[in-house]
Amino acid sequence: MRRWLARLSFSFIIIACVLAYEAYKTMHAQESAAAGPRAMLLAAGAAVAFALGVAGVRERHRPG
C-alpha cells in the first residue's frame, strides 16, 4: 500500500487541483440551487486527494 501511495502521489495532487478548480467554477456559476452542495463535495474531494498526495510525497522521500 505504501509503495502505491508513493507512486501515485503526484497524480493525487493533480486530481486535487482539478477538483478545486471545478469547485471554484461551480461556486461562481449561478446555474442552479444544487451548485452549493456540489461545490462543497468537490472541495471535500480535493482536500482528501491533496492529503493523499502529501502523504505519498512524504512516503516517497522517507529515508531507508
- Calpha distance 22→28 (Å, rounded): 10
Residue 41 has pLDDT above 90, yes or no: yes
Residue 56 has pLDDT above 80, yes or no: yes
- Among residues 45, 62, 57, the alpha carbon closest in space to that of 7 is found at 57
- Calpha distance 7→34 (Å, rounded): 36
DSSP SS3 for 34: coil
Other CB atoms within a 10 A radius of the CB of residue 26 amount to 20
**How would residue 35 be classed by pLDDT, with cut points 50, 70 and 90?**
confident
Domain boundary assignment for the chain: 2-60
Q: What is the reported pLDDT for 22?
A: 96
Q: Between 45 and 37, name the one with better pLDDT.
A: 45
